[in-house]
């Protein structure tokens, strides 16, 4: 009981903190203030497509007006979660093996050293916003499954079916092609007879099995916030939780140092605490680009002893307190890209492939 009383007092005394009601000067005023090292607000995302650009613009609007990094990150993440064409994040995300969309997300506020996360959340398209409220309005860090759902309901988030037609068809195709030994797909006596393929022609290809977004921002006060949000590994086992909602794995923020986020095969990212590793390396003075590359190498070094041919599919992004950023991916023929928005405008930055040709 004693704890409840003290918590209630705490809640009353902190209403308003971290909710965007801070009265901050406009960006132009900050720049004109003549600080020796003026803080340059910036927002970045691992998403490099058109939605990524729109997300950066939305987040930048908040930063430009003097808003805080938490609000900017949430605004940007929501844009990506809303995109029905994106089969890796929020609404339209690919479902689990049962055809149910289960979302994971985490949030960190460097200014208050707070974190919140949700895992296996169904029916709510903005897990980043629910994670933000876990961070700001509970004394916990991670809520999962039915508990996360109850919490989102309590806060009045609108409930909906997140499975779009596109995602359902991709899942159905996966189901039919999964095994010749189950009963999905053509009846047995028709399997050798050439079928009209138009049924499948309408289906989008299964483009990828991983996908997530990281959004990291620094505001006019130099405070740093970050969010990672995803529908996770497509067709995952029911209840599987990836790295995205695990603080230190899919996301980490240290207000004195910077922030880092991960996408790709979450199992490796969890085991390696990759985001925490990157922030620690930046704390030691390593630039963000190098921190991303070192984190990837740290993972392959572990696997090398067990299976030298195994190169998982991670992509990492990082930013330091000075606003320098970087990204790296484990393998592939194309350099990884990320979105960046600052007073210099929008740009797509190219990072490094750690193991080209793999
Ligand atoms: N990291 C996510 C997960 O493992 C998926 C991804 O980023 O592609 O759930």
Kindly state whether residue 171 falls inside one of the protein's structural domains.
no
Distance 36 CA to ligand 1 centre (A): 40
Identify which of 243, 251, 314, 331 to mutate to test ligand 1's pocket (most ligand atoms within 8 A of the CB): 243
Looking at the chain, the whole-number percentage of residues with pLDDT higher than 70 is: 85
Q: How many domains does the chain have?
A: 1
Kindly state whether residue 300 falls inside one of the protein's structural domains.
yes
User: Binning pLDDT at 50, 70 and 90, where does residue 17 land?
Assistant: very low
Distance 228 CA to ligand 1 centre (A): 10
Kindly state whether residue 79 falls inside one of the protein's structural domains.
yes
Q: What pLDDT is attached to residue 179?
A: 80
- Residue 111: how many other CB atoms lie within 10 Å: 20
What sign does the dihedral 304-305-309-311 (CA atoms) show? negative
Half-sphere exposure of 335 (CA within 13 A, CB side): 10
Whether the CB-CB separation of 233 and 211 falls below 8 Å is answered with: no
Kindly state whether residue 185 falls inside one of the protein's structural domains.
no
Going by C-alpha positions, the residue among 131, 111, 59 that lies closest to residue 342 is 59
Kindly state whether residue 251 falls inside one of the protein's structural domains.
yes
- Residues 312-316: what's their mean pLDDT? 94
- Residues 191-197: what's their mean pLDDT? 64
Kindly state whether residue 257 falls inside one of the protein's structural domains.
yes
Kindly state whether residue 29 falls inside one of the protein's structural domains.
yes
Give, using CA atoms, the residue closest to atom 4 of ligand 1.
266
pLDDT in tens, 236-262: 999 999 999 999 999 999 999 999 999
Q: Could you tell me the residue range of the domain that residue 284 belongs to?
A: 21-162+207-352
Q: What pLDDT is attached to residue 18?
A: 35
Kindly state whether residue 49 falls inside one of the protein's structural domains.
yes
């Amino acid at each position: 009981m004693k704890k409840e009383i003290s918590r209630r007092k705490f809640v009353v005394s902190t209403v308003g903190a971290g909710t965007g009601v801070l009265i901050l000067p406009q960006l132009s005023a900050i720049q004109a203030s003549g600080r020796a090292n003026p803080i340059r607000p910036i927002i970045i995302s691992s998403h490099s497509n058109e939605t990524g650009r729109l997300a950066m613009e939305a987040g930048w609007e908040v930063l430009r007006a003097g808003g805080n990094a938490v609000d900017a990150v949430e605004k940007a993440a929501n844009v990506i979660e809303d995109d029905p064409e994106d089969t890796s994040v929020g609404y339209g995300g690919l479902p689990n093996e049962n055809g149910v969309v289960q979302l994971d997300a985490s949030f960190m506020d460097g200014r208050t050293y707070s974190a919140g996360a949700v895992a296996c959340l169904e029916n709510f398209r903005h897990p980043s916003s629910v994670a933000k409220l876990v961070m700001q309005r509970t004394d916990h860090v991670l809520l999962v499954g039915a508990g996360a759902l109850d919490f989102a309901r309590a806060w009045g988030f609108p409930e909906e079916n997140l499975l779009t037609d596109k995602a359902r068809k991709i899942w159905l195709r996966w189901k039919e092609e999964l095994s010749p030994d189950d009963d999905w797909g053509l009846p047995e006596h028709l399997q050798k007879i050439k079928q009209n393929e138009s049924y499948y022609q309408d289906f989008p290809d299964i483009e990828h099995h991983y996908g997530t977004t990281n959004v990291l921002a620094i505001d006019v006060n130099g405070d740093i916030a970050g969010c990672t949000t995803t529908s996770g590994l497509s067709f995952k086992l029911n209840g599987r939780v990836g790295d995205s909602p695990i603080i230190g794995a899919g996301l980490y923020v240290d207000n004195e140092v910077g922030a880092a986020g991960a996408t790709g095969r979450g199992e490796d990212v969890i085991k390696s605490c990759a985001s925490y590793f990157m922030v620690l390396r930046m704390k030691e003075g390593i630039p963000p680009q190098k921190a991303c590359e070192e984190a990837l190498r740290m993972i392959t070094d572990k696997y090398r002893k067990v299976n030298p041919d195994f190169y998982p599919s991670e992509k990492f992004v990082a930013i330091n307190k000075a606003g320098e950023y970087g990204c790296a991916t484990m393998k592939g023929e194309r350099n990884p890209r990320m979105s960046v928005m600052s007073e210099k405008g929008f740009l797509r930055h190219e990072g490094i492939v750690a193991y080209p040709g793999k």
